[in-house]
Structures are given as structure tokens and as C-alpha cells.
Amino acid sequence: MLLTVFGVPTAAAVRGFQIVQAFFTEMVGGFDLLTAATVEELRSAWAGRVHQHVLYFSEAPGADVVSFFRQAQAPMLVFVDDPVEIALALQVERGLDQLQSARASSLSVSVLEEIWVAPDVMLINAGRGGTLSLFDFVEALAAFLTLPCSDEQVLRVMERLRLQGFSLGDADGSWLSLQLNGDPGSDRQAPSSEELGLLHRYLGSYRPVAAQQPLSVVIWPEETFVSVDHGWTGLNGMLDMTGRQRRLIDGPLFGLPRGRWQATIEFVVLDNLMGCVMQVHVVAQRVLRQGRIALPETGSHSCSLVFDHEDAHTPLVIQFTLDRGVLQGRFRLVRVVFQRLSLRLDRRMAG
């Protein structure tokens, strides 16, 4: 038997996978645990396995690995959560600041989206909205894998977890209450309204994935970008273009799922009386698309660039560079709106 498990980068998802491991041990006995990141690594690990049964886990599977498992018709379980909740958990569990946690959440959602929205996967809510009890979780997993499972076997799974250091608490409650001793998420405080407001602004357009909807529109607001002139601090209003040729704006190192995208850049220009040309580069380790904007004299405007993004693991940056020295004028980046033109998924994944 082969079971593939994927999950968001939170402590709750890790706990969930430990429950799956305990279940797998109880139901099939010995198995090989694989965590390969590429198909080449997977083939090598597969060749070295010693058991008939295999359990695979990854928080960030490569597209080729996903395609391999899809073609093999391997059952897939995915631990999911709302993108805003993922960011909040990362702040507590990994010490990330607000923008860093939003970046990491956007990347996680972008990488897992292809699996998350597929119609034949088993989704387990690893967030605050999760309601499955441990019994229900184990029974649902057994049914998904078409394995008979008795109440006695569930109790033995619980005993395995207890021996691993879990504080099981109320077995009739949500499996999320089965916290591991010392879990950094167990004392998590409620976020302030200001923190929630910013994260919703950063990640609101990623949230359709939580309802198993592929992302079709993604919005990066002004605050996710940085001003190079002001020490790489967050954008907040108009920037003075006066001065030498230079990079003016960079960021935000957010994620996008694979696909063909149209980026519409919305901006405001004031007092550009002498004329100015802005170079725009869409970068994901390499330049995906380059454009040049002859900035108008004044007013609110927009322009669009179409590009292909094939590696969801790589965060995207949009760089705004003044083509030459500028005598006067001010510029404000309002937001960038991405419209997905093509999923670029294979037929099985498209469902």
C-alpha cells in the first residue's frame, strides 16, 4: 500500500501526520517513510525501500512528484487550513513576523493548490474549524483506504500516540486537541483586530483555496512591496522619483500557483512633467517577463504583463526601476492584480 500525505507548515498538520503514522503502523505494520523532494530522489528512495507499504509526506512537493503520484493513482491526504490561520500559526510556532508569515503562507497555498483542489483527495481541516474527533478521523482514513478498522484498533492507535508523548485529553473532542507536550501552538493567543486586518489584506485573495476553489485572481496590495530608497521598508503612499537611475520598488516574495498569469499593475503618477520611463521585471529566480512603461504626466493608470509561472516553490518579485535619471515627479504603486489565464495542469489534475 502507498499513501501520500501533504500538509500546510503548521504544528497541527505535523500532529496530524503523526496520527497517520500511528494509524499506518497499527493497520499495516512495518512501512517505509519517504520524504523525497524530486522524482529523482523519490526513485532512489523507492529503490531502497525494505517494506511492501510506503508512507510519503511533504509540506512542499514538487510538481513532478505530484504528477508522478497522480499518474500512479496513489491515494492522497492533505492537511489544510485557511491561509490567514496558517500565517498566524507561523508567527507563534516559527517566530516569523507578519509579512514573513504571509509570504510563507502564500507559498504553501501556491505549492499545495494543485492537490488541495483535486476532487479525489481526502482533506483534513488542520485549523480552528476542524471538528473531527480522533475516532472519526481514524475511521474516515480507514474508509478512504478501504481498510476495515475496529474500535479496538483505534484505541491501540491512541495508545501509540500516548507513548509518543501526546496529551490525548478528551478522545471525543476534535483530533486537534491531541496536542504534543511542549507544542508551541498550544498557548496561542487570539490575534488583535489590527493583525487580522493586515493578514486579511495580504492573504484575502488566497482564501478561495480553503473552499477547494483554484485561485483565479490574486491581489498584492501596496504594503506588501518595499521602497528601496527608504531602506527596504514597506510602501506607504507616494515616492519621489527625483534623482538618478535606480530601482525604486521591490517585492513582495509572495507565492503564485503554476499557470499563465496576467499581472495588472495599478499606479498613480503626479507631476511627471519631464517624462519618465519605468522598467518592470517579473522575477522568480529568473526574469519571467520584462516591460517598460512610459509614465503619464499625472493621474491613476494601469498596465498589464502576461507571463508563465512553472515553479510554485519559487516566490515572485516585481521590480520597478527608473530607466534614467528623473528631474521631478512622484509615483505610487497601488496594487498588482493577477488574473489566471490558464491552469497549466495535466488533465487528471484538472479534474
pLDDT tens for each residue of 291-300:
999 999 999 9
Average pLDDT over residues 26-39: 90
Q: Is the pLDDT of residue 349 over 50?
A: no
Beta bridge partners of 222: none
Task: Tell the residue number behind the cell numbers 488541495, with chain if given.
Answer: 116
Distances (CA, A) of 72 to 66, 89, 121: 10, 33, 14
Question: Average pLDDT over the chain, rounded to whole?
Answer: 89
d(CA 319, CA 65): 31
Q: State the pLDDT at residue 219.
A: 98
Q: State the pLDDT at residue 195.
A: 83
Centre a 10 Å sphere on the Cβ of residue 208 and count the other Cβ atoms it contains.
Answer: 18
d(CA 206, CA 96): 19
With contact defined as beta carbons under 8 Å apart, do 89 and 23 qualify? Answer: no
Q: Is the pLDDT of residue 180 over 60?
A: no
Average pLDDT over residues 125-134: 86
d(CA 108, CA 206): 11
pLDDT in tens, 261-284: 999 999 999 999 988 999 999 999
Q: State the pLDDT at residue 134.
A: 84
The DSSP secondary structure of 254-311, one letter per residue, reads: E---SEEEEEEEEEEEE--TT-EEEEEEEEESEEEEEEEEEE-SSEEEEEEEEEEE--
Average pLDDT over residues 121-138: 88
Pick left, alpha or beta for residue 198 (phi over 0 → left; psi -120 to 50 → alpha; otherwise beta). alpha
Residue 348: pLDDT band (50, 70, 90) is very low
Q: At what angle do helices 39-47 and 63-71 cross, to 10 degrees?
A: 50
Query: Vertex 39, ends 36 and 40: CA angle to 5°?
Result: 90
Helices (H), the chain: 11-28, 39-47, 63-71, 83-94, 98-116, 134-144, 151-163, 193-203, 347-350
pLDDT: which is higher, 182 or 30: 30
Q: State the pLDDT at residue 63.
A: 85
Whose CA is closest to 43, among 31, 56, 30? 56
Residue 191: pLDDT band (50, 70, 90) is confident
Q: Is the pLDDT of residue 24 over 50?
A: yes
Q: Is the pLDDT of residue 347 over 70?
A: no
d(CA 160, CA 173): 18
Average pLDDT over residues 173-201: 72
**What's at 343, amino acid-wise?**
L
Average pLDDT over residues 80-93: 95
DSSP 8-state class, residue 243 = B
Average pLDDT over residues 29-51: 90
Q: Is the pLDDT of residue 137 over 60?
A: yes
Q: Is the pLDDT of residue 82 over 80?
A: yes
Q: Please give the distance of CA 137 from its chain centroid, rounded to a whole number.
A: 24
Burial class (CB in 10 A: 0-12, 13-18, 19+), 95: exposed
Q: State the pLDDT at residue 171.
A: 54
Counts of helices then strands in the chain (DSSP H, E): 9, 19
- In the chain, % of residues over pLDDT 70: 92
* Range of lowest pLDDT (166-170, 196-200, 213-217, 245-249): 166-170
Average pLDDT over residues 328-351: 75
What backbone phi and psi angles, to 5 degrees, belong to 93?
A: -85, -30
Burial code (b: 16+ CB inside 10 Å, e: under 16) for 114-126 equals bbbbbeebbbbbb
Name the CA dihedral angle for 4, 11, 198, 208, rounded to a multiple of 10 degrees. 20
Q: State the pLDDT at residue 344.
A: 56
Q: State the pLDDT at residue 189.
A: 67
